Amino acid sequence: MALLEVRSLSKSIGPAKILEGIDLTVERGEILGLIGPTGSGKTTLLRLINLLDEPSTGCILFDGRMVFGKPEKELLCARRKMAMVFQKPVMFKASVETNVSYGLRMRGRVDATGGEMSMSDMVEEALAAVGLSGYESRDANTLSGGETQRIALARALILQPELLLLDEPTANLDPGSAASIDNLLQRLAGSRTAVILATHNMQQCRKLAGRVAVLQAGRLMAVGKSEEITLPW
Ligand SMILES: Nc1ncnc2c1ncn2[C@@H]1O[C@H](COP(=O)(O)OP(=O)(O)OP(=O)(O)O)[C@@H](O)[C@H]1O
Ligand SMILES: [Mg+2]
């Protein structure tokens, strides 16, 4: 059974059809590239998958279970298995440590790794993973754009999600920082975490993603192995 199944999903906002007839599956542990030009609907699709918005028609199955139209408790259960890094991440007015551990505290999962690691050890590990060791006590609102992006990724990784939704995680980074994020994602490949990576960058898809879904004007034009996909633009 696929981890995520999107069936005939459409989203309209007012008279505008933002997404139409999206069918897509994500397998456990895979990295799926979601590529499309600006305005094609990538962010809208990720937000629907992350259960932040409701589709106009169609449905989403997570772990084989329908997630919309269910009691809030079931929605919460699915939401807790996912984490999203937004295109423009927002930091709380607090330290990096508070920001990175926020989701864990919200989820009450102090002992997410079986109780052996303290929260501060987990923060340390997540910061090391994104190359920002020692940033714990920094004020999160004084970080550069690239650092903010990486802290947002640490905040998601610490949750050990089954599905990680990344909305152009390297778009605002210098080549060096982008490469370090790419390396980190490469290491995620084959782990239990599945990733949907929204990007404009086909090179990044070829490097990181096993499969690529091509979105254009709200429709999926193709889904296939990254080395076999050619872009229609
Ligand atoms: N709340 C909204 N109200 C009206 N239109 C919206 C809304 N949200 C998104 N749109 C429109 O839906 C389309 C898809 O937007 P979306 O942000 O999903 O695209 P995207 O592929 O993520 O683009 P980018 O690569 O620039 O981030 C755009 O034309 C956008 O203007
Ligand atoms: Mg977007």
- The model's pLDDT over 142-194, given as tens digits with 9 standing for 90+, comes to 999 889 999 999 999 999 999 999 999 998 788 888 888 898 898 887 788 99
Mutate to test the pocket of ligand 1, among 10, 11, 17, 42 (most ligand atoms within 8 A of CB): 42
Q: Which ligand is nearest to the CA of 17?
A: 1
**Which domains are delineated in the chain?**
1-81+163-171+195-226 (3.40.50.300), 84-160 (no CATH)
220 pLDDT more than 90? yes
Q: Is the CB of residue 96 less than 8 Å from the CB of residue 155?
A: no
pTM (2 decimals)?
A: 0.94
Q: Is the CB of 11 under 6 A from ligand 1?
A: no
Closest CA relative to residue 168, chosen from 146, 187, 186, 188: 146
State the residue for tokens 């937000």: 47
Structure tokens that stand for 192 in this block: 């239990």
Residue showing tokens 């709380």: 92
- Per-residue pLDDT of 126-138, as tens digits, reads 999 998 999 999 9
Mutate to test the pocket of ligand 1, among 13, 22, 44 (most ligand atoms within 8 A of CB): 44
